[in-house]
Amino acid sequence: MMNPIKKMLMLITALSSLFIISGCSSLDIEPWVKPYERQNLADPIMRFGRHPIANMHVAHVLEARESARGAEGTGGGGCGCN
């Protein structure tokens, strides 16, 4: 027969695990960003680099240093493992 304290601890552990796991799932199907808020994300100030010519130069330097095309995270690469 199981000790009542041990049984209570197992029950508490099971219930807390259930609450933690259920907290990770989202039942909301609607997107986090509303359609009328997307205009703020499309603002040019939200880009990582604001100067397209400087960005192209940095990309060229990275490609030359990495000795492969696609060093910017695009498909393909020098090793042929895409």
Give mean pLDDT in consecutive 10-residue pieces for the chain, a chain of 82 residues: 84 90 65 79 76 84 72 54 50
pTM above 0.85, yes or no: no
CA angle 28, 15, 4 (to 5 degrees): 170
Structure tokens at 26: 């989202």
23's enclosing H/E stretch is helix 4-24
What is the pLDDT at residue 26?
Answer: 60
